[in-house]
């Protein structure tokens, strides 16, 4: 029962399908099937049985999986110690992020990190928040860049920053005349939009859950004209006046609008922000490369000067 055996069996268990597990492992389906058959013959017991929902572990399979997870954790902890001993001269780090957050953060973070640690290999995994939480719970990631709240993850985290939310209002919306300036930024009273149509994400998305919390603080039950899984679509449609939407300020720079729009800040009473964190598996020792990435991330978001990644936006076309 070596490290590679553990990795292969865990992949089969997580995918519940030989073909998908083989694709995940970058190996052929016949080779993985032969490996499983040979392993079961050596152990003289079945590890998996076929069901309507795919491969399911037997009792022996469950015991193997639990032992494999413990072995891989021990191997990972040993690699952590070796990496620290080598003083960051070599190593590998697996970093997860949601797609939009990765698009925003990695162009700022990775050049600084690679300049200081050119020999550290970085593997990036971009996925939905729920999948990142699952990966953290199974020790499949060293670090995950994401937003609170967590729903299922057994993880710990370092808070990096609070990312403000803004209200996207079409330039020709009559309520735009109520925009006022504060600290050099455009603000508006969210309560004025109680009767407006809203474009929001789906309820299972973190960006929607934060929007719902902000609207609830304003006493608004939104009249949703339609839902979309894309922050970009919501922003672009709001700019042409179909409705209004809430979105993270940091994402504005990732997209363009087909029509002029205002990106209005909201008063703190509505708690208009979400919390950006660097999360890591619970009870796991952070490797040197991982600790350095968290440190550089903090430097990026809390620079010595006055510049911050969260700059203000008024309108974008």
**Is 88-160+275-301 a domain of CATH 3.30.360.10?**
no
pLDDT in tens, 36-60: 999 999 999 999 998 888 899 999 9
3-class secondary structure, 108: helix
Selection from 264, 147, 158 nearest residue 207 by Cα: 147
DSSP 244: B
Q: 3-71 sits in which CATH class?
A: mainly alpha
Every domain range in the chain assigned CATH 1.10.10.10: 3-71
Residue 315 in this model has a pLDDT that exceeds 70: no
Structurally, what CATH architecture does the domain formed by 163-272 represent? 3-Layer(aba) Sandwich (3.40)
DSSP-based three-state secondary structure for 142: coil
CB-CB contact of 259 with 317 (8 Å)? yes
Give the pLDDT confidence of 122-174 residue by residue, as tens digits: 999 999 988 999 999 888 999 999 998 888 767 899 999 999 999 999 999 99
Q: Could you tell me the sign of the dihedral formed by the alpha carbons of 198, 204, 208, 209, in that order?
A: positive
pTM of the model: 0.69
| Strand, coil or helix: 109 | helix
pLDDT at 86: 59
Question: What pLDDT is stored for residue 139 in this prediction?
Answer: 87
In the chain, ranges of CATH 3.40.190.290 domains: 163-272
Mean pLDDT of 231-251: 96
Strand 120-126 with 91-97, pairing: parallel
**Which residues belong to CATH 3.40.190.10 in the chain?**
88-160+275-301
| Selected residue with higher pLDDT from 230 and 89 | 230
- Distance CA(283)–CA(306), nearest Å, equals 36
pLDDT of residue 91: 76
Residue 309 scores a pLDDT above 60: no
Q: Which residues contact 141 (CB under 8 A, 6 or more apart)?
A: 94, 95, 96, 125, 132, 135, 280, 281
pLDDT band at 31 (very low <50, low <70, confident <90, very high): very high
pLDDT class of 230 with cuts at 50, 70, 90: very high
């Amino acid at each position: 029962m070596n490290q590679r055996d553990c990795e292969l069996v865990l992949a089969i268990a997580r995918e519940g399908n030989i073909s998908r597990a083989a694709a995940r492992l970058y190996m052929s389906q016949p080779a993985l099937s032969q490996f499983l058959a040979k392993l079961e013959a050596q152990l003289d017991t079945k590890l998996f049985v076929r069901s309507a929902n795919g491969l399911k572990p037997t009792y022996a399979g469950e015991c193997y999986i639990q032992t494999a997870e413990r072995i891989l954790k021990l191997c990972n902890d040993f690699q952590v110690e070796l990496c620290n001993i080598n003083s960051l001269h070599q190593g590998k780090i697996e970093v997860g992020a949601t797609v939009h957050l990765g698009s925003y953060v990695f162009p700022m973070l990775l050049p600084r990190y690679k300049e200081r640690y050119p020999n550290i290999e970085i593997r990036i995994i971009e996925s939905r928040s729920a999948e990142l939480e699952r990966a953290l719970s199974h020790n499949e990631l060293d670090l995950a860049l994401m937003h609170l709240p967590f729903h299922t993850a057994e993880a710990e985290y370092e808070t990096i920053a609070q990312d403000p939310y803004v209200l996207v209002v079409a330039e020709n919306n009559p309520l735009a005349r109520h925009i006022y300036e504060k600290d050099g930024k455009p603000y508006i009273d969210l309560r004025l939009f109680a009767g407006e149509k809203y474009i929001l994400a789906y309820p299972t998305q973190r960006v929607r859950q934060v929007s719902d919390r902000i609207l609830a603080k304003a006493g608004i039950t939104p009249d949703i004209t339609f839902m979309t899984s894309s922050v970009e679509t919501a922003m672009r449609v709001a700019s042409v006046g179909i409705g209004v939407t809430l979105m993270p300020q940091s994402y504005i720079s990732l997209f363009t609008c087909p029509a002029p729009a205002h990106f209005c800040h909201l008063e703190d009473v509505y708690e208009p922000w979400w919390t950006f964190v660097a999360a890591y598996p619970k009870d796991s020792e952070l490797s040197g490369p991982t600790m350095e990435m968290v440190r550089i991330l903090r430097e990026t978001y809390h620079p010595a000067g006055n510049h911050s990644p969260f700059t203000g936006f008024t309108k974008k076309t």
